[in-house]
Amino acid sequence: MAIKPAYVKKTATILLERYAEAFDDDFERNKDLVTELTNIESKSVRNRIAGYITRKQATPAQ
């Protein structure tokens, strides 16, 4: 089953809205936070969400 990019972006956006101060540009830390804050069991989905959050946090706001 393929992971829908819209699901990854939507979940990451919700997490960033609710817990913006918790996330930063460290992938490993974000991965642990996604595990704690969600009930996602799939490692690949968790990593994609954490990677998207990391990328969003690393880019400067425009």
Q: What total of structural domains would you count in the chain? A: 1
Q: Kindly report the pTM of this predicted structure.
A: 0.89
Q: Which residue in 49, 51, 45, 53 sits closest to 16, CA to CA?
A: 53
**Residue 9 belongs to domain spanning:** 5-58
- Give the model's pLDDT for residue 17: 96
Matching residue, tokens 């968790």: 46
pLDDT value of residue 4: 86
Q: What is the pLDDT along the chain (62 residues), one digit of tens a residue?
A: 567 899 999 999 999 999 999 999 999 999 999 999 999 999 999 999 999 999 999 877 65
Q: Which domain CATH number covers 36?
A: 1.10.60.20
